[in-house]
Amino acid sequence: MSGLDPMQLEPGLWPFLIATVVKMLVIFTIYMVVVAYTTLAERKVSAWIQDRHGPNRVGPWGLFQVLADGVKNFLKEETMPGEVNKPLFLLAPAVAFTCALVAWAVIPFGAPLPTPWGRIDLVVADLPIGFLYTLAITSIGVYGIVLAGWSSNNKYALLGGLRSSAQMVSYEVAMGLSTVCVLLIAGNVSLPGIIAQQVETSWNIGLLSVAAFLFLVSAFAETNRVPFDLPEAESELIAGYHSEYSAMKFSLFFIAEYANMLTASALFVTFFLGGWDIPFTSWDNTGPATVAKALATFGMFAAKVLFFVFFYIWIRWTLPRFRYDQLMSLGWKFMLPVALAYVVVVASALLGLDAAGIARGTRAFTLSLVGLNAVLLVLLFVILDRGRIISPAASRLERERVERLRRVAAARTTIAPGELR
């Protein structure tokens, strides 16, 4: 794993600074363009799923729709509702937008790139605690929404902000616990380290399928996407936390949502799909670094991330929204216990495999973990995946209440309207 050695560039401050600034500019540009086009992709995919055409008037196949939307948002009037808490009202979109962007800094997006000045790691900031950093940043992201809801002086916005904070706190727990398994197996909290582990053994989606599933579901909740988009449930809360925002401030929230989606996809890819690793070949992670390898692995990473962005959109146009109590019971009564139990199972399995002398990276290690996960997945999806697990209507208290109501109704002498039908 010499490719992941942090000391690669020429020593000195300037090479490091210049390389970092160039990486930041390149990543920022690509990221913003991709985010912009994700909004178009959302509209296009939703149209195709609903047997429509989608935007196709601006430019060929509607490709310039993004520019038209951007110009429109810049030129629109910024309204400032009366009695808002101005500093927080202005701060909120900035917080949401910034947090969505900076989470990307620690995600490795390619094999190291050789340059005349030494090898450059294709990650903006190779933090040794990258994993904790992503957790922290995604948690701060909730402040953008909460502050927007609070400062708007609007009951719907406030309700949206409240919902969002409760939801994010609930799912943060399950998300954190599901990634604990990744840390257990990698023995490392730096994201390049986690990718190196996956290159060495195999992708974590096979070794930790249940954690991958839990992480995916929590990521949907964390990014406020359907089926967990209760903070902006338009049928109940107008537009939730961004009801009072207009023009570019609204646009920042909009960009932040898509940027978050991209970040969550990239995190999933990094934790469970081997990051930039190209499957079924070791060409990309052995031998000296070349430009071709860097480009190919970057392409692979982009392909994986974009697939998950597509998956997000696909889910959005497939599922309806959860009811709020269902959301909470799913988070606390299902995701959290399963994630906790899974941490115990994975920890014991790793301990057992170590005790049995099966080294990590061997075929036996991989096969035994994959087998364990297959069994657990069958248990989870066939036996545990029942409505009674997360439907609060099936709780014992609720059932007792229903029984009591039935007894009361049976004791009544008058004919209830329902009985006439």
Partner 1 sequence: MGINVKVMERPVGEASYVRATLKGLALTLKHLVDPHRVTIQYPEEKWDLSPRWRGTHRMLTTEDGKAKCVACGLCPTVCPANCIKLVPGEDETGNRYPLVFEIDEFRCIFCGYCQEVCPEEAIHLGRHYENAEFNRERFVYDLERLTAQTHPVSTLWDPADPRGE
- Residues that bind partner 1 in the complex, under the rule CB under 8 A: 45, 48-53, 56, 314-315, 317-319, 380-381, 385-388, 390-391, 393-394, 401-402, 405-406, 408-409, 412, 416-418
Beta bridge partners of 122: 110
Residue among 67 and 319 whose Cβ is closer to partner 1: 319
To partner 1, the closest distance from the beta carbon of 308 in angstroms equals 14
Contact between 150 and 85 (Cβ < 8 Å) = yes
Enter the DSSP assignment of 243: T
Q: Which amino acid is at 24?
A: M
CB of 401 to partner 1, least distance (A): 8
Q: Please, what is the minimum distance in Å from the beta carbon of residue 377 to partner 1?
A: 10
Question: Which CB atom, from 37 or from 317, has the smaller least distance to partner 1?
Answer: 317
What's the N-to-C CA distance of the chain in angstroms? 73
Min dist CB 396 to partner 1, Å, is 13
- The position carrying tokens 């609903």 is 50
Residue whose token pair is 């949401």: 96
For partner 1, the closer of residues 36 and 315 by Cβ is 315
Least separation in angstroms between residue 376's CB and partner 1 is 13
Shorter beta-carbon distance to partner 1: residue 117 or 314: 314
- For the bound state, the minimum distance from the C-beta of residue 185 to partner 1, rounded and expressed in Å, comes to 24
Alpha carbons 374 and 392: distance in angstroms, whole number: 29
Q: Which of 60, 75, 71 is nearest to 36 (CA)?
A: 71
* Cβ proximity to partner 1, 75 vs 388, nearer residue: 388
131, 194 Cβ separation under 8 angstroms = yes
Q: Are 17 and 9 in contact (CB under 8 A)?
A: no
Question: Which CB, 191 or 313, lies closer to partner 1?
Answer: 313
Measured distance CA(134)–CA(176) in Å, rounded: 11
